[in-house]
């Protein structure tokens, strides 16, 4: 799966959806317009009647079908209602995936949970995050849902969440759970999450018209009309109001019907792709297939108890509500079709799941995939191939990396109270005693003596920590940091910056750590997703590209000029316009350049990262410091890059 191609497909799907929903809105306007003509004709028919000279009543003239002023009023009113309602629903999702999970009763999993099933879930999600290079999603459990289901939601990878039902935890083996989580990570990497939120917002906008009509009719349920003349006049008004309400109800629900058809059709297509990607990630079709078979064998299946599941049904791993209209509203393909797509020999027999899988007896070693096969030398193309994807080799390496992390540090990364101190500890200078004393004094002054006590409990593990384990710990600490209050988060970043500059310089690792944290936390706290691509010309960002390649070339252990030339050769559109900058003494210029490049289009980001990979590997080898810098650059461009393969 090519990450950039997947993102381009997501944008094309969004464009098609805009066209389809525009047609649905136009249909709603047309229905409202003709309904308004009919209603106005009925209301004026009585007053417009005349009598001829013989006393016979002459019928009123039929209203004209073309009334530009009425069309303008109906169009503006319909667009205003749909637009405002859609924006309202979108604003509800501005908090990211957590808002979606909490809306259906999700509970955030305690990082220090003693529940073995929840611990297994955290381990699986952490391994997937490490293997794919995406920020660690926050994990939720839907405690009141005994069915087997799951979903991923968020505006970006930085605010993504993964949620599973209680039934998923209790009834699936680790292999089956890994298949389900792999399916959800496919939605994260394919850009489906933001598309799902757009779908929900647009459909809600159309639905509001029908809800308004239903509200009008509901308000008239107790109204009574007497036989007096005044009451008859008021009765006519009530009839008119009721007619308006009925019209809005019909028009709104007709538009909603076709909107749901579009939503369901788009969702069904994406589910097959996510299933195929999950099998590709895990190289274990029996895991995902087993989960689907257990859904078929469970009485509840994948149906959720909450009434809110229908609104976000296209988010889920499997059908979360009973589909109406003969399956036209089904957001997922039939189970047997999904299973046969990954297991062609499936005979139609489902599996009745156990009441609860005995997690304590399940062997994590046997459930894990086999170690990665020996690979050839790491090449620049390997960097591009690993972007935004999962492979069995990457997943196996991530599992080994996760298992090698010191348990004390892993526990600290998961705890909101300890994660900041862990990251402080990653910046402590163990080679210069004077710098270390200044750093420890900074921690004591800004975070308190309790922070020093926590640091002391982490110190021995931090000293023995391998360089390749540092950024993965930062990645796993993101959910804990996101849960901090804004004031605590501001103090954390101020302290972090002071620790970085305690020795008067910024190392590539320090830059990478700060950039990864600032970028991901900023995106997760933003009220909207990142701005739409603004720069589509390579020439417009040539100086910034030269800065990035120059910094990487100076960080290389080989010849700086040769390294820069290797990268520049990958950008033929800028031939003759790129030259190494002499010398780059700090990383401030890189920071400024990356902020501008973050608004560049996908093709520019893709070619830039290809050039950057050639710079890093120009001397035939790559060290941890170079690769960390490359990961920070990729993260700023919103491109997930996995850890350095061993």
Give the span between the Cα atoms of 474 and 212, in whole angstroms: 48
For residue 327, the model assigns a pLDDT of: 64
Q: What is the pLDDT of residues 532-587, one digit of tens each?
A: 557 888 999 999 999 999 988 888 777 888 999 999 999 998 888 888 776 554 67
Q: What is the pLDDT of residues 213-269, one digit of tens each?
A: 777 777 776 555 555 555 545 556 666 677 777 777 777 777 777 777 777 777 777
Q: Number of H helices and number of E strands within the chain?
A: 25, 6
Do 515 and 639 touch, CB atoms closer than 8 A?
A: no
For residue 325, the model assigns a pLDDT of: 57
573 secondary structure, DSSP code = G
Give the span between the Cα atoms of 192 and 267, in whole angstroms: 9
Give the span between the Cα atoms of 567 and 454, in whole angstroms: 44
pTM of the model: 0.79
Give which of 501, 615, 521, 635 is closest to 568, Cα–Cα: 615
Give the span between the Cα atoms of 327 and 132, in whole angstroms: 35
Residues forming the active site: 184
Q: Hey, is 557 helix, strand or coil?
A: coil
For residue 371, the model assigns a pLDDT of: 39
For residue 121, the model assigns a pLDDT of: 95
Strands 107-108 vs 57-58: parallel, antiparallel or unpaired: unpaired
* Domain residue spans of the chain: 1-29+79-368, 405-504, 506-646
Q: Hey, is 600 helix, strand or coil?
A: strand
Task: Identify the H or E element spanning 108.
Answer: strand 107-108
Give the span between the Cα atoms of 10 and 382, in whole angstroms: 24
Calculate ∠ Cα 6-646-403, nearest 5°.
Answer: 90
Give the span between the Cα atoms of 539 and 611, in whole angstroms: 15
Per-residue CA distances from 588 to 42, 100, 581 (Å): 71, 37, 14
The residues, any chain, with a CB within 8 Å of residue 286's CB and separated by 6 or more, are 175, 343
- Phi, psi angle pair for 107, to nearest 5°: -120, 130
Give the largest Cα separation in the chain, rounded. Answer: 115
Q: Which alpha helices (DSSP H) does 116-228 contain, by range?
A: 116-132, 166-171, 174-189, 192-219
The residues, any chain, with a CB within 8 Å of residue 10's CB and separated by 6 or more, are 190, 191, 192, 194, 195
Read out DSSP for 317-334?
A: SS--SPPPGGGTT-SS--
Mean per-residue pLDDT pooled into runs of 10, the chain (646 residues): 62 66 80 78 59 56 78 87 87 83 92 90 93 90 94 88 95 93 88 81 82 76 55 60 75 77 77 82 84 91 81 83 67 88 88 77 45 51 74 84 92 93 93 91 90 92 90 92 90 92 87 87 61 77 91 83 90 84 68 89 89 89 83 86 76
For residue 373, the model assigns a pLDDT of: 42
Cβ atoms < 10 Å from Cβ of 525: 14
């Amino acid at each position: 799966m090519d990450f950039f191609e997947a993102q381009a497909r997501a944008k094309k799907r969004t464009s098609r959806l805009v066209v389809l929903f525009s047609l649905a809105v136009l249909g709603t306007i047309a229905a409202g317009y003709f309904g308004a003509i009919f209603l106005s004709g009925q209301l004026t028919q009585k007053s417009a009647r005349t009598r001829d000279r013989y006393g016979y009543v002459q019928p009123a003239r039929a209203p004209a079908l073309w009334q530009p002023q009425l069309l303008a009023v109906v169009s503006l009113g319909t667009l205003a209602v749909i637009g405002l309602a859609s924006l309202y629903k979108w604003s509800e999702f501005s908090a990211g995936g957590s808002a979606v999970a909490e809306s259906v009763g999700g509970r955030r999993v305690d990082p220090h949970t003693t529940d073995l099933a929840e611990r297994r879930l955290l381990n699986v999600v952490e391994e997937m995050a490490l293997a794919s290079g995406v920020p660690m999603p926050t994990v939720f459990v839907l405690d009141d849902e005994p069915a087997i289901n799951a979903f991923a939601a968020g505006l970006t990878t930085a605010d993504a969440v993964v949620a599973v039902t209680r039934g998923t935890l209790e009834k699936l083996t680790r292999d089956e759970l890994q298949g389900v989580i792999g399916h959800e990570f496919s939605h994260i990497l394919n850009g489906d999450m933001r598309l799902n939120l757009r779908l929900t917002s647009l459909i809600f906008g159309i639905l509001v018209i029908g809800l308004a009509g239903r509200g009008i009719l509901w308000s008239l349920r107790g109204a009574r009309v007497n036989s007096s003349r005044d009451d008859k006049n008021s009765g006519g008004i009530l009839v008119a109001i009721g007619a308006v309400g009925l019209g809005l109800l019909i028009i709104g629900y007709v538009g909603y019907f076709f909107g749901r058809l579009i939503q369901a059709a788009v969702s069904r297509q994406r589910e097959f792709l996510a299933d195929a990607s999950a099998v590709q990630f895990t190289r274990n079709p029996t895991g995902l297939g087993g989960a689907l078979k257990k859904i078929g064998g469970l009485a509840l299946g994948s149906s959720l108890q909450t009434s809110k599941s229908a609104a976000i049904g296209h988010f889920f791993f499997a059908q979360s509500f009973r589909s109406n209209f003969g399956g036209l509203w089904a957001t997922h393909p039939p189970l047997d079709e999904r299973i046969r797509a990954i297991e062609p020999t499936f005979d139609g027999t489902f599996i009745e799941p156990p009441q609860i899988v005995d997690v304590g007896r399940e062997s994590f070693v046997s459930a894990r995939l086999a170690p990665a096969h020996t690979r050839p030398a790491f090449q620049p193309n390997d960097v591009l191939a690993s972007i935004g994807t999962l492979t069995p080799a990457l997943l196996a390496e991530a599992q080994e990396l996760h298992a090698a992390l010191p348990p004390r540090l892993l526990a600290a990364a998961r705890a909101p109270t300890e994660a900041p101190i862990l990251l402080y500890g990653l910046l402590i200078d163990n080679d210069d005693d004077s710098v270390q004393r200044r750093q420890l004094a900074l921690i004591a002054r800004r975070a308190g003596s309790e922070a020093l006590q926590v640091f002391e409990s982490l110190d021995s593990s931090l000293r023995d920590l391998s360089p390749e384990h540092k950024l993965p710990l930062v990645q796993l600490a993101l959910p804990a940091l996101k849960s901090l209050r804004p004031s605590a988060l501001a103090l954390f970043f101020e302290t972090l910056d002071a620790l970085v500059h305690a020795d008067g310089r910024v190392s590539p690792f320090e830059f990478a750590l700060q950039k990864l944290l600032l970028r991901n936390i900023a995106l997760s706290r933003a009220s909207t997703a990142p701005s739409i691509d603004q720069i589509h010309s390579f020439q417009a960002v040539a100086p910034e590209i030269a800065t990035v390649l120059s910094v990487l070339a100076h960080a290389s252990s080989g010849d700086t000029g040769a390294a820069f030339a290797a990268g520049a050769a990958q950008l033929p559109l800028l031939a003759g316009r790129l030259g190494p900058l002499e010398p780059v003494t700090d990383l401030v210029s890189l920071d400024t350049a990356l902020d501008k490049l973050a608004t560049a289009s996908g093709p520019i980001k893709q070619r830039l990262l290809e050039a950057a990979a050639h710079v890093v590997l120009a001397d035939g080898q790559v060290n941890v410091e170079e690769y960390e810098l490359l990961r920070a650059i990729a993260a700023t461009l919103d491109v997930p890059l996995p850890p350095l393969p061993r």
